[in-house]
A and B are shown apart, each in its own frame.
Chain A
Amino acid sequence: MAIIDIRIDLKKGVADPEGSNTKKTLESLGFKGVADVKTAKVFEVTLDMPAEEAKKVGEEMCRKLLANPVIQNFSVTVR
């Protein structure tokens, strides 16, 4: 059994309105020194297979469904 964390984030240069809106709101709540806020999405997937294979399968999942290569990067880490 392997648990993998799949992290999907935005490619460099793709604007992140959710992140920048969150930054603005945090500042309006009085948080100082907020230099940047970025959003990302994490999927925790449990796979019935060895860790090494799980990583490969996770990457395949990203290519087939979880990430759009035009705007998103993905990374898969095994716990």
Chain B
Amino acid sequence: MTGEGLMVKRKVPFELYDINILASKDEDLKRISSDMSLGLSLDEMKVIKGYFEKEGRNPTDIELQALGQAWSEHCCYKSSKSILRQFVFGIDREDVLSRGDAGVMVFDDKHGYALRAESHNHPSAIEPYGGAATGVGGILRDVVCMGAQPIGLADPLCFGPIDTAADLPPGVKHPRYLLGGAISGIRDYGNRCGIPTVTGGLFFDERYIGNCLVNVGCFGIVKREELLRNFAGGPGEVMILIGGRTGRDGIHGVNFASQDLTATSDDDSRGAVQLGDPITKEPVIHACLKVNEQKLITGMKDLGGGGLSCVVGEMALAGGCGADVDMEKVPLKEEGLAPWEIWVSESQERMMCTCKPENVEKILEIFEMWDVSATPIAKTTDSERMRLFWKGEKVFEMDLEFLTGGPLYDRPYTLPKVSTKKDEVFPDLPGNNEVILSLLSDLNIASREWAIRQYDHEVRGATAIRPMVGKLNMTGPGDAAILMPVRGSMKGLAVTTGCNPWFTALDPYKGGMSSMDEACRNIVAVGARPNAITDCLNFGNPEKPERLGEFREAVRGIGDFAKGLGIPIPSGNVSLYNEGSGGVSVLPTPMIVGCGLIDDTRKAVTADLKKEGSTIFLVGKTLDEMGGSLLFRKYGGSGGDVPGVDIERLKETMDKLLEAMDKKLVLSCHDCSDGGLAVSMAEMCISGDIGAEIDIQAEGPDMKRALYSESNSRWLVEVDEKNAASFKDIMKGYAVKIGRTGGNALSIPKAGVSISVKDMRKAWSDPIWKIMGGSNQ
């Protein structure tokens, strides 16, 4: 604890300290911040000192702790906000219904759909099972507090190579252990809550060894008349704390999330990892939706980072009022918590709602029915100040504007040097048969079935297109999943994930664009129109100019794409300080979770080849863009142009392809991404259990680029021979016939390729099973 003289215990029958910052010099201020784990800089401490000088008194320990939470990167986005504001905020469209804890878009005349993604990186690096599970819990709450029923989960994950034999830095756990734990955590939590996990991604790279990324996304459906706000309706309302009890778990989670991981994080930070309880969550969802349906509440918000300290202030301030809190009423897991611990605890499964006093009783009755604890703990006031009382003693009184305002920084950044064709070194390659098989068995391509089948992806009985598609028990990778959230309606919500961290590392602007392109082309591949995205931006330490430069450029790329295509981003999340011990930053990872709409799900398309003798088209243009490609990573190439996006061209291609799908001209469709055209074609053969003969007009190195370049905005499309001409008519110059389906091998005579579908399936299916244990046979 802090040195003598600075902390004065108040003479009350509980633990409360007044912190003498008015008399503190710079050194003392720094020490207070570090001793109390506030995570605040000296400048920030000075601003706080100035505030309390005006108030004419010293702060209590609770007040300082609350500021530490509210002013953390995680809560107030102090390093990222100015960049986000410049490039991605405010991309508007009339069908954005809300930009609350989750974004909400128009689904149909009566319904909206909610979307939101979030990172749970640091806790998962320490304790992957609990970290990932509570990540799912948090994202479900974000959707529920819009009044929406969660309908699907997304789980993009990034780990070190799970077969790495490298000596791991001290304190770093083996990626195989981390992956196993994270998948189990998502499985147990998602499955038990009864929400299908329908999309995601697994990304493996050395640079995730020291700091894995666990991102989770959630989608929901809400009747538009039941759409909920995340703040109080005004003064004179009651705040009811719902769900789990408050304990010491998760104390200082946000500060932990806003620092790099170090070798000792393990021992220091276990307290910052929370334990989840899906069987509390499930009835919490039921009960919360019920009280909203009966119009008993005015607002709802989840207790995430910062716990009570953030949620009470934000709900009051946004509702134009203040709050008086009776802290003794907060139900506790254990006795003996100091008031400040209660105030900042991040215990799971808690939500807050606001209501008119006359509705309190009815609300409590509904929660009682579900055995969910619900306790009125605060009242909103007309003061714009928050006051906390403990056993009659006022322990906290602050201006809400000041508390939740937080600092904003324009930190210095340097623009990264980007990879170009000029410095391209094209690697030596073995024969194309060997290349294709080895790309198929690369960890970043190989079948994710080991993970996917552990998730219930069809609970709720509304999953029309699954993450894996094709013949029963012979499935291959799909592009996007489709949910049919409104019973009796054919309208579908397509959901997917897009990200290319390798492109982003070599050219952050194009990487941001490419990640958006991937999400959009996945959605188009199933026959849906991209509608909105949410993102989870995982980057390194923003206090390092080159890291912040990567962030800025990637965000600019995302923004340009979104504006160009008219895609709103109604919610988003930023996770900075993703660096392992030794300061190795993760690959810059702009994870995009995309949503699309399809009016008639019966017209949806999947990636598996459907029959022999149909025509295969390549839609979109292959360019000499080898930078960051899987081929280069695998065979030691370097440099090269990173794939860019021609928005106008994408728009036209997309419109035409969707028109052809709407006319039922498309039998199957798959996007070209990692591994290029060759890998995409192989995947379509695997899931359809049908071969294909491909004829590409190219020679020498041009042939290799045609096969393995990862140019954006491309799809492979199977069209019934009798419809080939009509398809061509619609697509104009945007589609080129490249072959036909049939036989039991993929053959590309001009490239010397001939591989049986069986061999491709084996190469693709086995690798992750082999490492993680078990088998699909």
Which A residues lie at the B interface, using CB under 8 A? Answer: 21, 24-25, 28
Contacts and interface: CB of A to CB of B under 8 A. Distances in A.
B7 to A, nearest CB: 39
B488 interface: no
Interface string B236-275: 0000000000000000000000000000000000000000
Contacts of B774: 21
Interface in B307-327: none
Interface string B736-777: 000000000000000000000000000000000000011000
Interface in B454-492: none
Contacts of A24: 773
A25 B774 CA distance: 10
Contacts of B773: 21, 24-25, 28
Contacts of A28: 773
5 contacts: A21-B773, A21-B774, A24-B773, A25-B773, A28-B773
B728 to A, nearest CB: 53
Interface of A is mostly: helix
A15 to B, nearest CB: 15
A18 B182 CA distance: 18
Chain B contact residues (Cβ within 8 angstroms of A): what range?
under 10
Contacts of A21: 773-774
A39 to B, nearest CB: 15
A21 B773 CA distance: 8
- Most B Cβ at <10 Å: residue of A21, A24, A25: A25
A48 B774 CA distance: 46
A28 B177 CA distance: 12
Nearest to B771: A28
Nearest to A17: B774
A24 B773 CA distance: 8
A28 B773 CA distance: 9
A40 to B, nearest CB: 20
B178 to A, nearest CB: 14
Nearest to A22: B773
Contacts of A25: 773
Nearest to B177: A29
A28 B165 CA distance: 13
A24 B774 CA distance: 10
Nearest to B174: A29
Closest 5 CB pairs of A and B: A24-B773, A25-B773, A21-B773, A28-B773, A21-B774
A25 to B, nearest CB: 6
B526 to A, nearest CB: 35
A76 B361 CA distance: 45
Nearest to A25: B773
Nearest to A24: B773
A45 B636 CA distance: 60
A67 to B, nearest CB: 22
A59 B14 CA distance: 44
Interface in B287-334: none
A11 B696 CA distance: 62
Interface string B27-48: 0000000000000000000000
A79 B774 CA distance: 39
Interface string B585-622: 00000000000000000000000000000000000000
B292 to A, nearest CB: 36
A29 B773 CA distance: 12
Nearest to A21: B773
A5 B765 CA distance: 45
A58 B238 CA distance: 46
A21 B774 CA distance: 8
A21 B454 CA distance: 15
A25 B771 CA distance: 10
B73 to A, nearest CB: 37
A16 to B, nearest CB: 15
A38 B774 CA distance: 18
B774 to A, nearest CB: 7
A19 to B, nearest CB: 13
B775 to A, nearest CB: 11
A28 B180 CA distance: 14
A56 B774 CA distance: 42
A20 B774 CA distance: 11
A64 B430 CA distance: 66
Interface string B79-109: 0000000000000000000000000000000
A28 B162 CA distance: 13
B450 to A, nearest CB: 13
B32 to A, nearest CB: 43
A15 B195 CA distance: 31
B161 to A, nearest CB: 16
A28 B774 CA distance: 12
B773 to A, nearest CB: 6
A25 B770 CA distance: 11
A21 B775 CA distance: 12
Nearest to B774: A21
Nearest to A28: B773
A25 B773 CA distance: 7
B545 to A, nearest CB: 41
A25 B219 CA distance: 35
A76 B249 CA distance: 33
